[in-house]
Chain A
């Protein structure tokens, strides 16, 4: 085996290696790290991040970027929890409405991207402000508690007494998204539209529709993610989910999803989510608080860009 091949294998498995290295490092640094309870915590705390990262990946592969995801989550979370706790709606109905609304917000983003023929990064910067306003209008800056057990079950319940429901939901979604993106014709078309929109159009693909659809599907995932997060924390306010676009995009960039679209592998994105999750958890345990974590996340983002640019040469 030549060095080039070895390099490629290391490149493919850089993330799992990084994850293992972080786990070993924090295990040595803190006795509280490698315990079943803490590992379960890491898993459960990152369920909504992983689902969101799926959404970010789909959008990025289609050649877009969505900065408004955090406030989409915020809108869905306050709407659903308000309908349940204040207006007394049955949870399932509120959940369906929340997810539907999120898919609508996503579709709006995608539609604007096509209509205004502008970068979706800037467009979603605009819609982010709109969604923020909508969220605060719904919540009136209040926090919604008093959620029924049936709702909290989604975030805190277990099946067979030990498998968290939220983790099961995440696995189902990841498998589904991975399957659709990797194995189906529609997934292939999303890659094509992101890789080279003009070639895709001339090859007979409806690029506009594919791009908007990617945002719609991502919206559905963001809605689900919002509900998982609200159900886990047992409450929601307009700050719920805000900032998750950063974690999602960092995970995608770290895993090698191309910024220009057309490239990306789901399993790597999920591993990257847990690299970031383990890092946050471990830093907490060795008494490095929230602020150093921000710095660490930023450094990782830039570091992975450096590696990508070096690989490209």
Chain B
């Protein structure tokens, strides 16, 4: 059995929304609502979902870029930031992040080699060593150090900047790298180059990736496991081939069939799902997807489905898949489906 490198336990984050001047009620965006999962060492976990589903918040909570309301992150068996656990400063060396906006995540006043060596120098590496390492890393990500080391971020193209961000993330020899929409802003032809680079680096440095994306093709390509999120919760999780071929949650199925067909003779005829994702300030009761789900019955609006296995490591949160849930006997109450459209 391969070891679990990262455990996420009951992670929760609500963002307060500035209330109306006259209302007393404090409202919250339920960004991440009680999620738990494990990341296996050496595998890539893809996280997919629509905007506002909490995938980026999850990444930021794991990297400790903002405090969680509750929950725990356990890295290699040690609780992160807990007394007697792993110190935050050493945790940050083991887990690094690459963001979507390659320009905003680089300091415009530092040259590329200064950017990459900055982190290690903070962590007590000598200046000479850090610079040598920066040059090595630049070569590893396919940028000639003699040409690029002394350049500034604005002198590089988008794809080159993202390579620099990847090199900077690798400067600590991290064990886990979180890639938050890291290839989303790149042109298709450049995106393929960066995806190939990520695959090569993963093999070379024995990395574990958390790959967050809204592009289902890219997630399918790069991930070993995939986790589907909807309104702050996990709806389905499992090995990527299994989830893509035998999706058990209606939302996953809708998401997968919303991909444009590449065959002009077989264009999409019917939208798999109607409406926009609901407002995360007032998430629907019961199963959060019930107001857009064509299979919804009365029970779906009242009872929150738990994540339960359909096959060994393939879990899904949907009453339809669990005979004991009472879905079969529940009346098909379509009233909820129409109420959802008005939000």
Are A and B interaction partners?
no
Q: Which residues of A contact B (CB under 8 A)?
A: none
Q: Which residues of B contact A (CB under 8 A)?
A: none
